[in-house]
Structure 1
């Protein structure tokens, strides 16, 4: 997981670093650290979040290993799968 602040000190440095990581394929997903949600980099919902709450991931496995769940907007099918598993897990606890 790469936090936005780990990319550089100034906005220009962060933009340059982020673009480089994306071009190299080192970042493929973005996340919202307050709600622990990950999604595609071009997600309209994700683009509205504040810069200080953004994190970035190499892939889904990286996001899931950090406890993040799929975005219900840009990753609808993955979200439905996650929701079904979460509902099943909570039913087992009762």
Structure 2
């Protein structure tokens, strides 16, 4: 997990191009989603974190975004209520 505030704009673009960053998340809300998600683009830079994979986001106890990852969100919700 990498914090947005720790990355320069050049470094961030480079990591996205190299696919070292594939998902973004909100550090306070513990939600992750796709980089193109409009919900993710509205968050403050200091709250934004990046992940290389969904697995990494889930390991850090983040949940899928209900907008850009509806299918994964529904599965997460079902799993949460079963426990």
Please give the TM-score of this superposition, normalised by the length of structure 2.
0.97
Task: Tell me if 1:2 matches 2:2.
Answer: yes
1:49 is displaced (CA, Å) by 0.4
Once the two structures are TM-superposed, the CA of residue 15 in structure 1 deviates from its matched residue by: 1.1
Compute the RMSD of aligned alpha carbons.
Answer: 0.6
**What is the Cα deviation at residue 6 of structure 1?**
1.9
**2:58 match:** 64
Cα deviations by residue, 1:41-79 (Å, 9 ceiling, x for unpaired):
000011000111000000001100111000000000000
Work out whether 1:22 is the aligned partner of 2:32.
no
User: Which structure: greater helix fraction?
Assistant: 1
Higher relative contact order (CA 8 A, sep 6+): 2
Q: What stretches of structure 2 of length at least 5 have no aligned partner?
A: none
The gaps in structure 1 that reach 5 residues or longer are 8-13, 90-94
2:61 match: secondary structure: coil
For these two proteins, the number of residue pairs brought into alignment is: 83
Over 4 Å off, 4+ runs:
none
Q: Which has the larger radius of gyration?
A: 1
- Write the distance in 2 (CA, Å) between the matches of 1:54 and 1:74: 16
TM-score by length of 1: 0.86
- Output the CA distance in 2 between the equivalents of 1:56 and 1:35: 14
